[in-house]
Amino acid sequence: VIVSTTFFDSNVKSYQDLKGKTVGAKNGTASYTWLSDHADKYNYHVKAFDEASTMYDSMNSGSIDALMDDEAVLAYAINQGRKFETPIKGEKSGDIGFAVKKGANPELIKMFNNGLASLKKSGEYDKLVKKYLSTASTSSNDKAAKPVDESTILGLISNNYKQLLSGIGTTLSLTLISFAIAMVIGIIFGMMSVSPSNTLRTISMIFVDIVRGIPLMIVAAFIFWGIPNLIESITGHQSPINDFVAATIALSLNGGAYIAEIVRGGIEAVPSGQMEASRSLGISYGKTMQKVILPQAVRLMLPNFINQFVISLKDTTIVSAIGLVELFQTGKIIIARNYQSFRMYAILAIMYLVIITLLTRLAKRLEKRLK
């Protein structure tokens, strides 16, 4: 049975003491439903959170006065050093479930049930619960058994550097691949936007307006969850899209729309007399663009291309919302385990700063050579 337990500051001893206070809960959970149903009765305000770690940090910072979450999650948080109190008995909310898609994976269900029964019979289940959910102070022997103290920055890095390096690799791969594709998309639509053809200019304008008008996270979510759901509703078969592929498509489309505007602006920044003079000499539009306009426009575009590359790298943190384990998501996973949010976010900030600074310096050197 899941027991949603509410954690308060020392001034709260009952639900009546919550009058006028703000209580946090994870959105879409039994805790949030219970708090919402009883908000009028006890006159408190409910604030929704997407994940436990941010909710707990809000509790520590004082932006919420209390919170409600599953007992197992909260017990683990206390075990990891969160200084919470539980003065009010929790509310029973339902049973713990191991969920799979209906009609799918019967072998997995059978294996899970057999494994769980075996763990309970051997007593291993109770040992695991005691190990991870005990709120009692850790003994000296337990402390000695811990390989690394993650309450320090050095401890965090030494115990998680492999995951962080893997996250950096995914972030850089995603940035480079998506930016390369975005350059192709941007140049094509940018050239279309200054074309003599009204049809091509209209198509380019529609593309740029649509992609720039929709937030990147919604584009990523639509590609990763929306399109497979639509395909399944039509065909009756699942067609999942790989998270890396979905993120690459979303970043490429988003970057391509902005690069298209950079290309258009760069070309239009070249004095119109250049085109007129070249055409008056009998040189075709295509040759004029290739030999006269673009060489001048590229020099004007280069600084903006560098800025867009940096923006693309930063935008990888947004697509982590679909579950892609890049650097930012890696940090969030580590925080969810040890609740060391301040130190972990500081490490992530420094890592991003170093990566972006190095890449920016490299891009500027390339810019100087091209000039």
Provide the residue-wise pLDDT of the chain in tens; the chain has 371 residues.
Answer: 334 444 545 577 888 888 898 998 888 888 888 889 999 999 999 998 888 878 888 887 778 888 888 887 888 777 777 778 777 877 877 667 778 877 778 888 889 889 989 998 999 988 887 776 665 544 444 444 445 677 788 888 888 999 999 999 999 999 999 999 999 999 999 989 988 899 999 999 999 999 999 999 999 999 999 998 898 888 877 778 889 999 999 999 999 999 999 999 988 888 878 777 887 888 887 788 778 888 888 888 888 888 899 999 999 999 888 888 899 999 988 887 787 888 899 999 999 999 999 988 887 787 777 66
Provide the pLDDT for residue 363.
79
Residue 191 to residue 363: CA distance in whole angstroms? 23
For 94, phi then psi, to 5°, come to 150, -165
Give me the amino acid identity at 114. N
Do residues 135 and 78 touch, judged by C-beta distance below 8 A? yes
Residue 300 to residue 293: CA distance in whole angstroms? 11
Provide the pLDDT for residue 292.
82
- According to DSSP, the β-strands at 45-49 and 91-94 are unpaired
- ∠ CA 120-123-126, nearest 5°, is 85
Provide the pLDDT for residue 72.
78
Per-residue HEC secondary structure of the chain comes to CEEEEEEECCCCCCHHHHCCCEEEEECCCHHHHHHHHCHHHHCCEEEEECCHHHHHHHHHHCCCCEEEEEHHHHHHHHHCCCCCECCCCCEEEECCCCCCCCCCCHHHHHHHHHHHHHHHHHCHHHHHHHHHHCCCCCCHHHHHHCCCCCCCHHHHHHHHHHHHHHHHHHHHHHHHHHHHHHHHHHHHHHHHHCCCCHHHHHHHHHHHHHHHHCCHHHHHHHHHHHHHHHHHHHHCCCCCCCHHHHHHHHHHHHHHHHHHHHHHHHHHHCCHHHHHHHHHCCCCHHHHHHHHHHHHHHHHHHHHHHHHHHHHHHHCCCHHHHCCCCHHHHHHHHHHHHCCHHHHHHHHHHHHHHHHHHHHHHHHHHHHHHC
Quote the tokens at residue 298: 């590229």
Provide the pLDDT for residue 260.
94
Provide the pLDDT for residue 151.
74
- According to DSSP, the β-strands at 22-26 and 45-49 are parallel
Provide the pLDDT for residue 141.
44
Provide the pLDDT for residue 313.
93
